[in-house]
Amino acid sequence: GGCGKDRPSAPKAVFGHPKQQLVRVAGGGSGGPNGDSSTTSNPRSSFRPQGTQGCEPLRKPTSMAVLPPRRPSPRSGTPTAMVEEIMEVAEKQPHVRLFTRALQIYQHDLRKCLAKDNMNIKDVMRQTRHTPVAFYTALMHYAIRISWYHVVEELMDDMVRHGVTRPLSFYESTMKQLAGQKQHHVALAVYDRLEADGLRPSAVTCSCLVSFAVEVGELQRALEFFEKLSATTTPSIRAYMTVLRVHAKRQDFAASVALFRDMERRCAGVDSLALNVVLGTGVAADELEAVDELLRQADARQPPIADVISYNTLLKALAQRCDAERARAVIPRMKARGLEPNHITYNTAMDATVRAGRLPEAWPLLDAMRDQGLSPDKFTASIIVKGLSRSPGTGQVKNALALLRDTDSVCDGALKASLYHAVFEAARQAAVSEGGGDMAIAARTFTQMRQCNVTPSQAVQRFMMHALPSASC
């Protein structure tokens, strides 16, 4: 038997995998091609398709290159066996593949089987050692673990269809798992089901619902959840803080103060963090006097709860009002309380004086800052240079140049370029208004710009070219 025209016809292909259509080459025996019992060095060389004895080696069929995935089928077609197989997954080591298989069996096999035979899942569960609630709790867990969030409400619909009671523990467990996956929208949808069933969530769940609503931007609903919580028990400090931030987003200072008073009345652990949120809301609402009074009341408590951030918040409000006098008075008030001002304190106080157009009064604050061991930073430089546009005197420019040299290492290239060009403009104005055309201060600024690796703009260079004969350093 060769490969010529007398080659016998191949038998019809059998069903199954293409590899199963391979048979051992027919010969004199079960060994080599000559019928003896010897074997070849490569065992696979003795395999040929039927009817192709002596031909070229078998090549892999092209149809084996891509095989469509097969959905796993249940081990048995009975609903009871399907339930048992689904519940076995909960007893095994958690794995995404097992969770997916269990949900596929439920969706594509068990659900269809129940509908076809008009069966109720509760009748099937009576033949197992599991309860209907435990069964759907397991399915819900599988769905959330593999991010099949669209299945959550489908499973609850099935529970309603089969008359399976949904206890509070089922709802709360589901919401907790969804929150762990940041699916707050779905968790709130589960709560709607809970409420429709006439159930009342626990205090812990109410507290969590406040956070869920805030996460999805439903601020009014968050307040409603908090009211329900507050009517049943004293809310946790976490719930209070969440609602205080809701009022801050809405800039509702009156509601923030009322909630703060409620915390005090219920001994809910009022601290500087809660106070600062309320103060910040007052600053955003431009309630300066009320903010100052609330801070004084906080200082009068035993022990006082105001901290450095509290005073910095008041300073921010004073800066917005350009109230330089009261801003400078805040620093001694802090020190009297035993609090040490920080960079933000001094920078905000200087900002208040600059906004009020009183730059000369900012330099003593800078000196006090240095005396306390605090080095000026890029914000300090920005605030002072901003004030030069209103007070472009020669002395102010010299002080600003000294400050820029001190802060050279903390300012990036873009900021330095912006600051130096602003100082140069102030120097040019000072030279024109004070020096009768003497450009020495402008030349000094130009020189320091070059020394600090700041490239002067073309406008600055043209100005210096025209002013060069009269410039002296």
Mean pLDDT across 382-408: 91
Among residues 181, 186, 237, 227, the alpha carbon closest in space to that of 206 is found at: 227
Query: Distance of alpha carbon 52 from its chain centroid, rounded?
Result: 65
User: Which residues, including other chains, have CB under 8 Å from residue 1's CB and lie 6 or more apart?
Assistant: 7, 8, 53, 54
Q: Which two tokens stand for residue 270?
A: 């009022």
Query: Distance of alpha carbon 380 from its chain centroid, rounded?
Result: 32
8-state DSSP, 1: -
What one-character-per-residue DSSP string does 263-300 give?
HHHTT----HHHHHHHHHHHHHTT-HHHHHHHHHHHHH
Give, rounded to a whole angstrom, the gap between the first and last alpha carbons of the chain.
110
Whole-number Å distance between alpha carbons of 57 and 163: 63
Whole-number Å distance between alpha carbons of 88 and 105: 13
Residue type, 266: R
User: Which residues, including other chains, have CB under 8 Å from residue 395's CB and lie 6 or more apart?
Assistant: none
Mean pLDDT across 193-201: 95
Tell me whether residue 27 is exposed, middle or buried, using C-beta atoms within 10 angstroms of its C-beta: 0 to 12, 13 to 18, 19 or more.
middle
Q: Check whether 379 has a pLDDT greater than 60.
A: yes
User: Which residues, including other chains, have CB under 8 Å from residue 180's CB and lie 6 or more apart?
Assistant: none
Mean pLDDT across 359-383: 95
**Choice between 468 and 314, residue whose per-residue pLDDT is larger:** 314
**47 phi/psi in degrees, rounded to 5:** -110, 130
Mean pLDDT across 349-354: 96
Task: Quote the pLDDT of residue 63.
Answer: 40
> For the segment 77-134, what is each residue's pLDDT rounded down to a tens digit?
799 999 999 999 888 777 889 999 999 999 999 999 999 889 999 999 999 999 999 9
Task: Quote the pLDDT of residue 31.
Answer: 44
